[in-house]
Amino acid sequence: MKAAAQWSVTPALAARFAPGDRVRVRRADPPGHLRTPWYIRGHAGTVERLCGTFPNPEEIAYFRSGLPAQPLYRVRFAQKALWPDYAGADGDTIDIEIYQHWLEPA
């Protein structure tokens, strides 16, 4: 992916997932600066793209390098799977950027 290559920070961890893969967001609540929204933890979605590799914000927040960089994905979730009473169409989705260490195969 052109954009991903241009935007990658190195050294970086190898990407575990590819577009189309089903992944689940870890249901975890560690202390610190987190960029994984609470509402998406524990939910399963599909990798839309690999954005590139970026220093881990949870480390940067405490003045560490955040390296090796984490692969960052855009993951697509079905709205009706997130909110049981969702008022909208079946095809409605939400895309969220999630770092690899928050994802596991689903």
Contacting residues toward other proteins, per CB under 8 A: 2-3, 6-7, 35-37, 39, 51-52, 54, 57, 72, 74, 79, 83, 86-89, 91-99
Name the minimum Å distance from CB 3 to other proteins.
5
Please state the closest distance from residue 72 (CB atom) to other proteins, in A: 6
Nearer to other proteins, 23 or 72 (CB): 72
Q: Which is nearer to other proteins, 21 or 95 (CB)?
A: 95
For other proteins, the closer CB: 16 or 74: 74
Closest CA to 37 of 26, 48, 47, 50: 26
Per the CB < 8 A criterion, the answer to whether 102 and 32 are in contact is: no
**Which of 102, 106, 105 lies closest to 26, judged by CA?**
102
- Measured from the CB atom, is 9 or 21 closer to other proteins? 9
Q: How far apart are CA 55 and CA 57, in angstroms?
A: 6
CA 54 distance to own-chain centroid: 12
CB of 68 to other proteins, least distance (A): 16
What is d(CA 30, CA 82) in angstroms, rounded to the nearest whole number? 22
